[in-house]
Structure 1
């Protein structure tokens, strides 16, 4: 009977997972638009491949040619999103300024850095029992939990970024209407708690896979805003433009 319950839970979690999609975001700092980002999610066999590519645009691109490419591989289990690999590469004027890559194993409770020219030494981090996410899959973990745990208001995650392991705690702060592309949407507001610096406030859309439509962050006194501009969800009929 217990085995049947576990199997049903796993099947339910998989059936309520993500559809393939492409989301475009605009990044602003202090109200000044500086970059465009494209996030793409593709299902793999038993897992997902998630990428983000951001590049300075407009006047900001004339000042500095800066780009970020990140990718994450993760799966879904009965506890939610569980990452297995993560890499981020930053370039300034075509030169690589950061290259971090890690392998994640929540079953063994360990995160291991991968060797590259920027990481000539292998590092290992022990983590607590439970799922592990990375900075890229973090908001998808929230999306999944908001959809599948509607009665839960507090969410905690172990986040591995190739430099350390940090705990992120979030609290659901009710519903709020947000305005995007000349339309109003009902969004779930989430705030990061138990943390003095690096505040995060995000708005997730139940109508569209609970994906984050607006993310506000404070880093070192600067206010960053990520705003979704378009979302294409893959369906049996092809790519559908939602808004």
Structure 2
């Protein structure tokens, strides 16, 4: 259980549209267990934008009732620019703790024009031609592309993290109405098979994630938006 919670909380996202705008969202995280669908944590996603430069952060942690079993927290930061409707990354960092012990603490500097990324661990990753993003800003890129390329149903990105660069493919899977805070929300469903991930992106709110469903091993997790500010 600890490992799958750890893996899911590392996959927290948000998204905006062309000409990205500031956004702050609060989410609740649930896990399907033998005892039912239980709330196990919370997350805050915050996107700041100044002159097309963005700073995007996430803060996630297990809830107070779970801390005795698994006291987990994770902070991510992504920085870059929006240029002609594309998300151009320059920096990504992660600090992850279990109780007071730091499990991950690294930074990645991205040099898109030079086709490489450098980790604070000393590793250098080669980038192939095309868009490179980090695990957080990939959802900004996805949102922009859904709007700018309405006839396209699949999007593939190079995504860099501490282990290197990998390709992730996101497929549009139709519209779906879901219930959030007793209100129906029209969403676009997007699937990433590589991550066993399903996103519900709000059609009216710049394709921000309203609901995220992730399978890790034998456990399914759902992260649901409860409030946001734009």
Task: Give the TM-score of the pair, scaled to structure 2.
Answer: 0.86
Larger Rg over CA atoms: 1
Asked if 1 retains the 8 angstrom alpha-carbon contact of 2:54 and 2:79, the reply is yes
- Counterparts of 1:231 and 1:225, CA distance in 2: 17
How far has the Cα of 1:16 moved from its partner?
2.9
Show the counterpart of 1:222. Answer: 219
Contact 1:213–1:227 (CA under 8 A) maintained in structure 2: yes
**Counterpart Cα distance in 2 of 1:202 and 1:176:** 11
1:206 aligns to what? Answer: 203
In structure 2, what is the Cα distance between the partners aligned to 1:74 and 1:167? Answer: 20
- The aligned length equals 210
Unmatched 5+ residue regions in structure 2?
1-16
Give the structure 1 partner of residue 66 of structure 2: 60
Contact (CA 8 Å) 1:21, 1:232: kept in 2 or not? Answer: yes
**Counterpart Cα distance in 1 of 2:53 and 2:134:** 15
What is the CA deviation profile of residues 90-125 of structure 1, one whole-angstrom value per residue up to 9, with x for unaligned ones? Answer: 0111221111210112211101012xxxx3xx1101
Displacement after TM superposition at 1:147 (Å): 2.0
TM superposition score normalised by structure 1: 0.82
The answer to which of 21-30 and 153-162 deviates more is 21-30
SS in 1 for 2:57: strand
- Report the RMSD for the aligned CA atoms in angstroms: 1.6
Deviations along 1:160-187, whole A, 9 cap, x unmatched?
0121111000111111101100000110
2: CA distance, partners of 1:215 / 1:149: 23
Ranked by relative contact order (alpha carbons within 8 Å, sequence separation 6 or more), the top structure is 2
For structure 1, the 5+ residue unaligned runs are: 1-14, 234-243
Moved over 3 A (4+): none
The aligned residue for residue 133 of structure 1 is 133
